[in-house]
Every structure is written in structure tokens, then in C-alpha cells.
Chain A
Amino acid sequence: DVKVTQSSRYLVKRTGEKVFLECVQDMDHENMFWYRQDPGLGLRLIYFSYDVKMKEKGDIPEGYSVSREKKERFSLILESASTNQTSMYLCASTTSNQPQHFGDGTRLSIL
């Protein structure tokens, strides 16, 4: 069974801090994704990666960056956290012709 693990379920940070959200998958998937989920807005794609050290911008990349140094790990970085980045963050992974498998999310609050 595919397991996508997000390092924190809940995180509280202050405005201006640099924030790291970590995601690890155990199925050797090439493709990994970061979404944010907000009530009434659904899931919106922030960044994705099709291979180690590769990254592509999604629909809302502003204020975020990512890192993929190892195939199993995909990190989302908030360079200088702001209150409008308070949200639920979801990581997903997949390989060709397989459904995307999601982690259980990190609920991030920026004070």
C-alpha cells in the first residue's frame, strides 16, 4: 500500500519565518505534488516535480519554493511566511498510469 507521509499534522509559525513542510513517499514514485486546500476553493496546485532536482510551477507558486534532492522526498518552503499562507497543505505522489496518492495534510497557521 502506498504511503505518503507529511512530517507534521499541525504547525504554527510566525509572520516572516522561513517554513519547511516535508513529504516522503515509499513507493519510488517519480511524480510528486504540493497542493493547498482552502474552504470553497478546493485544491490548488503549488508546485510539482517529475524527477529528482526537477520542479515545475503550478497555479499558485508565488511565495513558495520546493526542493527535491532525493526521489522519495519533496519539500515545500515558505520563504517568508505571511498570514495569507495559513492553509491546509497536501502532498501527493504518483507514477505513470497510477492514481495520485495523498498524505493526510499539514494544517499550517501563520500568526
Chain B
Amino acid sequence: QQQVKQSPQSLIVQKGGIPIINCAYENTAFDYFPWYQQFPGKGPALLIAIRPDVSEKKEGRFTISFNKSAKQFSLHIMDSQPGDSATYFCAASIGNSGYALNFGKGTSLLVTP
């Protein structure tokens, strides 16, 4: 069964908008939560990651918000650009990033000009 639930399945925003992608998990042993970005014809690439000891992490225009009590985390993309159009996957694992990741089903994001 899917251990990480991701929504929405697809998202369309205008340039400059703030798309938000949400993920939820059940296994409280998960302690590493990365987000991957995938462009067509390419493998996923790590975008940003968080551990449950912090509630928010920012890297450039990308922000992860983490709610440990609700077992939810989300990705916000500030000032989105057409070049951000891609598929985004959240994931979770036990231990560090060297262990097997449990992925969400992915969100296809389209940023229109």
C-alpha cells in the first residue's frame, strides 16, 4: 500500500503564482522527507529535503513546511516560473537518505506564462 499520499495529481498555475503540493504519511518512524523534481525524459533529481526536527526549510524559491503532529508536509514554490513545469514527488524514509525511499504518486505541475 502507498505509504505516502500526495495531492493534487495535477496543478496548473499562472506565472508568479504559488503552487502548493501536499503529502501525508502514517509511519511515525519516517524521519527523512525529500522532494524530487522530474523533467520529461530525465530521472528525478533532489530538490529539497527536511527532517522532522524543523517545521520549515527554504532553498531559494522552494519551501517545505512540516507538521509532525499531523504527519503532513508540503512543498510551496514561490514566484513560480514556466521553467518549474515538471512532475514533483514527495518521499519518506527511515534513517538517512541512503535507505529506500517511499514515494508519493507525483504531481504534474504546469506553470503558464
Contacts and interface: CB of A to CB of B under 8 A. Distances in A.
B43 A99 contact: no
Interface of A: 4, 30-31, 33, 35, 40-45, 48, 56, 58, 90, 92, 94-100, 102-105
A97 B98 contact: yes
Contacts of A96: 96, 98
Interface residues of B, number: 24
Given A99-B49, A102-B44, A40 B100 contact: no
Contacts, number: 60
Interface in B24-63: 34, 36, 41-46, 49
A95 B98 contact: yes
B25 to A, nearest CB: 14
B103 A44 contact: yes
B2 to A, nearest CB: 8
B53 to A, nearest CB: 15
Nearest to B1: A59
A98 B43 contact: no
A42 B97 contact: no
15 contacts: A33-B100, A35-B103, A40-B106, A42-B2, A42-B6, A42-B104, A43-B103, A43-B106, A90-B44, A96-B96, A97-B96, A99-B97, A102-B36, A102-B45, A104-B42
